[in-house]
Every structure is written in structure tokens, then in C-alpha cells.
Amino acid sequence: MSTSEGSSGSSAAAAVEVPVVSTEKKKEKSRVSKTSQILWHAHHNDAAAVRKLLEEDRTLVQARDYDNRTPLHVAALHGWIDVAKCLIDYGADVNAQDRWRNTPLADAEGAKKSAMIELLKTYGGLSYGQNGSHFEPRPVAPPLPKKCDWEIDPTELDFSNSAIIGKGSFGEILKACWRGTPVAVKRILPNLSDDRLVIQDFRHEVNLLVKLRHPNIVQFLGAVTEKKPLMLITEYLRGGDLHQHLKEKGALTPSTAINFAMDIARGMTYLHNEPNVIIHRDLKPRNVLLVNSNADHLKVGDFGLSKLIRVQNSHDVYKMTGETGSYRYMAPEVFKHRKYDKKVDVFSFAMILYEMLEGDPPLSHYEPYEAAKYVAEGHRPMFRAKGFTPELKELVEECWAPDMNKRPSFLDILKRLEKIKDALPSEHHWHLFTS
């Protein structure tokens, strides 16, 4: 940043100190920028650009992103052999572990990249991590489960360049900075900070989030519970929410919609894992977030209405608050104030998958409440998009079945989406398929 033009009258001591600080800041900024660049080029299969960066600074081979993933993790996941070879030439650690303890080889195996698997094994790659079991995400226990470890001092939160990224009846969500890292801060409105029910809901959400750890769930970082305003801090995802993305892009290609749906289903499979089932109860595009502007990875967020249920047996149902969540994506049993279980989330998922392929919200010609009422009467949105293969249409219809017992589990949904994805024609032949 340039110094102020009015600084000529400052003391000699200040004149000496300022450049030192700014030089350090510039170095750090440059380092962060180059880390982003090498991860970006690794993601886009640009081996020449990766090599150029490494020629300038060999240490970038060990660069780490938000989730502790190295450029080799990125290349392994996508199967970019030339990028991987270049990184290995510059001394990449083939057994580096990301936040979930996955090695590059575990990522390659999860994505079924056979040539990459061979290459990494040649250089001593080990399949250590969680992605070997593609459909059964096993969570890593949070390293710091005690409250004292995640309580954040509000003075550490920098709001000097903050921006409002969301609003609700409880307060607002702001982009801020915490220890040099962009974060999302859910801040309770001052006039609600003494409301007993608001405080109860806030603490419930914190106690729930601290237990969650999965690649497709927005990561909890900490909270301010001992001072006002109450705040909840999570990772900041640059890509915004799925609602905004669909508004800008319209209907997604079947390939993209399936990839997005699989990310949502992975997160939901983890939440629905017994015996401690978490029912989201407000699954909708606004609560699904894009990791970055490339829109290549999604995470499920906003657990304000979620419910943690200890399941005695897999067929337990619960009498919970009716009309919880957003009307347009609401399961009929919730609208009717009937007993319901985790399959309410499967219904909402069907509506999201429908919207991704159609490009418009389900029953967009109805107001949200009227749409929920129409659905509760037994009606469903019409399929119009060419992107609906018979298999996708069948899956959506099963997921929004009136009888919740006939809706598949998210683990089943994930397996079916994998099959549908494998059977899909390649993107550039898609127009032949739909004509």
C-alpha cells in the first residue's frame, strides 16, 4: 500500500519504522499470492506455470491451502500427471497429509485416477487417509473439543474491511479477518443478545458445529460466547452460495449438477450417520456454499435449525417443530406438522437437484408458502429441462416421494449418482444426447 502523501512531517523514527513493517507485509502478501497461484495452476493442469513458480521459489512445492492440501493433492485428485511429475521433481512430499489426513494417493484412489495411482506408488506414495472409502466418510474427531480451546477473543476479529454477506432475523453474517485469515462471522444483533431463546439457539448451534468435521461441511473455527455481541466464526468460502450461483448461471450441465449433488450428498451422509443423526431441516441453495469462484467443490452450511438426534433404532421418527425451514424446499410432512425423520433432508435435496438442472427454483410461479401448500397436497414440479436423463428423473422422484419411508438414504443417493455420472456422455457430446 502506498504511504499517505501528508506524511512528510512525521518523525524520523516513524520514517525508519514504516518501511520495515510494509516490507514484511509485502513479503507475506507476495507469499500468500504465490501460494494461491501454484494451487490454481495445479488445479488447471498448467505444468509450465507450476514449473515457472517453482524455479522462482522451490519452497512453494510444499504450499498449503485452507484445508492443508498441497499442490500435489490437487494434481492427484484431478489426475494431472505432468503437474504431479513436475512437483515430485521439485521435492514434493508424496505422503503429505491434508486436514482430513488424506495423502495425495488416497485422493487419487478416491477419484479413481489409475495412472496417477501408479505414478504416486512408484515414488513411495502410501494410501493413508479417508478417501479410500469413497462413500463412507469417517470424520476425524475435532482436536480441541473443550470450550476454552475454541472461545475467540473478539479483539482478534478485524472488521476494518468487513462486508455483509448475509442477513437473518437473528442478525447478520459478515466477512471479516481472524489472525490474517478471511472468515465468516455470524453476529447476533445487540438487541437480541439478551433474548433467552436466541441465546439458547446460538449455544445449540455452537455445540453442534464443534462436533462436525468433514470436507463437505462448512468448518467451524470458534465462537465468542463470553462477551457481547455473541459471534460464531466459520471458514469463509469465496464462491458464495448456490442460490446466487444458479441465479447468475441458470441451468447447470448434467455433469456439473451431478458433481454438485454428490458433494451435498457426501456432507449429508456424514450428518445422517447413526447413532447421532443430525437433521439439517433447512437444506436449500442459500445454505450450500461454493468453496471458490471455480465452483468445483461445495459445502453444506448454516446449522441454525439443525437437530441432533440420538437414534435408538433406524426407524425412529420424531415430533419436532412443524414448518421449520424454508417453505419452497420443505417436505410435506413438516408443512403438515406431522412426525418426521431425517428423510426431510432427502426431500429438500430433490428440490435442489431439480433446481440445478432446471435453472429455476421449484414452482417458481408460486409464492414460497403457496408452493409448500401445493406440494403438501400431493403435487410436484414439472420436468422440463433436457438435462434430466431417465435415471436422474427417477432419482428425483424417489427423493421427493410423499411417503418418507420410500425416499432413499443419502448413502444410496451417492452410489446412484456415481453410476449416473459414469454413464453420462462426455460434455462435448452432450448436445447429441439431448437433441
Mean pLDDT of 6-31: 48
Q: Which residues contact 191 (CB under 8 A, 6 or more apart)?
A: none
Q: What is the mean pLDDT of residues 316-326?
A: 47
Kindly name the residue from 98, 241, 263, 282 that is annotated as catalytic.
282
231 and 311 part of one domain? no
DSSP E strand boundaries for 291-385: 298-300, 307-310
Q: What is the dihedral of CA 357, 363, 365, 368, to 10 degrees?
A: -120
Query: Could you tell me what percent of the chain has a pLDDT over 90?
Result: 50
- Is the domain of 189 the same as that of 67? no
| Rounded Cα–Cα distance for residues 253 and 269 (Å) | 24
50 lies in the same domain as 159: no
Q: Are 106 and 130 in contact (CB under 8 A)?
A: yes
Residue 261 has pLDDT above 90, yes or no: yes
118 and 201 in a common domain: no
* Mean local confidence (pLDDT), 151-158: 93
360 classed as catalytic: no
User: Of 165-174, 219-228, 345-354, which one has max mean pLDDT?
Assistant: 345-354
- State the CB neighbour count (10 A cutoff) for residue 314: 11
Task: Kindly state whether residue 15 falls inside one of the protein's structural domains.
Answer: no
Q: Based on the domain organization, do 407 and 267 belong to the same domain?
A: yes
Number of domains within the chain:
3
Residue 13 lies in a domain: no
| Residues 372, 388 within the same domain | yes
pLDDT-derived band of residue 206, with 50, 70 and 90 as boundaries? Answer: confident
pLDDT-based confidence at residue 200 (cuts at 50, 70, 90) = confident
- Is 6 or 370 the better-scoring residue by pLDDT? 370
Question: Mind listing the pLDDT tens digit for each residue in 417-429?
Answer: 999 999 887 654 4
Q: Specify if 3 maps to a domain.
A: no
- Indicate the pairing of strand 231-235 with strand 220-224: antiparallel
5 domain residue, yes or no: no
Distance of alpha carbon 136 from the chain centroid: 17
Phi-psi region of 368 (alpha: psi -120 to 50; beta: other; left: phi over 0): alpha
Domain assignment present for residue 55? The answer is yes
Residue 128 resides in a domain: no
- Cβ atoms of 165 and 174 within 8 Å: the answer is yes
CATH of the domain at 83: 1.25.40.20
Q: What is the chain's length?
A: 435
37 falls within a domain = yes
Q: Are residues 199 and 258 in the same domain?
A: no
Residues 6+ apart with CB under 8 A from 262: 414, 417, 418, 421
Inter-CA distances, 13 with 9, 10, 19, 21, Å: 12, 8, 11, 13
Please give the Cα distance from 172 to 165 (Å, whole number): 8
> 209-213: which pairs have CB atoms within 8 A and are 24 or more residues apart?
209/234, 209/303, 210/142, 210/145, 210/150, 211/142, 211/145, 212/139, 212/142, 212/270, 212/271, 212/278, 212/303, 213/100, 213/139, 213/140, 213/141, 213/142
- Assign 3-class secondary structure to 121-163: HHCCCCCCCCCCCCCCCCCCCCCCCCHHHHECCHHHEEEEEEE
Same domain, 182 and 277: no
The domain that holds 225 is classified in CATH as 3.30.200.20
398 shares a domain with 292: yes
pLDDT score of 178: 95
Closest to 57 in 3D by CA, of 71, 38, 75, 44: 38
Per-residue pLDDT at 166 exceeds 70: yes
Helix (H, G, I), strand (E, B) or coil at 70: coil
Residue 428 belongs to domain spanning: 242-434
Residue 371 pLDDT exceeds 70: yes
Q: Where does a domain end: 184, 215, 235?
A: 235
Q: Does pTM surpass 0.85?
A: no
Q: Are residues 228 and 338 in the same domain?
A: no
- Do 381 and 294 share a domain, yes or no? yes
- The answer to the question of whether 186 is labelled as a binding residue is yes
Query: Of the given ranges (34-38, 180-184, 197-201), which has the lowest mean pLDDT?
Result: 197-201
CB 78 within 8 A of CB 45: yes
Single residue among 201, 235, 269 that ends a domain in this structure:
235
pLDDT of residue 15: 38
Report whether pLDDT(138) > 60.
no
Is the model more confident about 89 or about 228?
89
Nearest-angstrom CA–CA distance, 107 and 35: 20
How far is the C-alpha of 225 from the C-alpha of 17, rounded, in Å? 37
Between 5-19, 138-152, 189-203, 363-377, the lowest mean confidence (pLDDT) is in 5-19
For residues 207, 208, 213, 215, the Cα torsion angle rounded to the nearest 10 degrees is -140
Residue 282 and residue 398 in one domain = yes
For residue 135, is it within any domain?
no
For residues 400 and 382, the answer to whether their CB atoms sit within 8 Å is no
| pLDDT reading at 134 higher than 90 | no
| Mean of pLDDT values over 400-416 | 96
**Range with top average pLDDT, 53-67, 81-95, 126-140:** 81-95
How many angstroms separate the CA atoms of 280 and 362, rounded?
A: 20
Please report the pLDDT score of residue 345 as a whole number: 96
**325-351: per-residue pLDDT in tens?**
588 999 999 888 888 889 999 999 999
Q: What percent of the chain has pLDDT over 70?
A: 79
Q: At 428, which CATH number?
A: 1.10.510.10
Residue 152 CA to residue 144 CA, distance in Å, equals 13
Give the three-state DSSP class for 184: strand
What average pLDDT is seen over the chain? 81
Which class for 192: exposed (0-12), middle (13-18), buried (19 or more C-beta within 10 A)? middle
| The last residue of a domain, from among 207, 235, 263 | 235
The residue ranges of DSSP E strands in 285-344, in sequence order, are: 288-290, 298-300, 307-310
> Cβ contacts of residue 1 below 8 Å, gap of 6+?
22
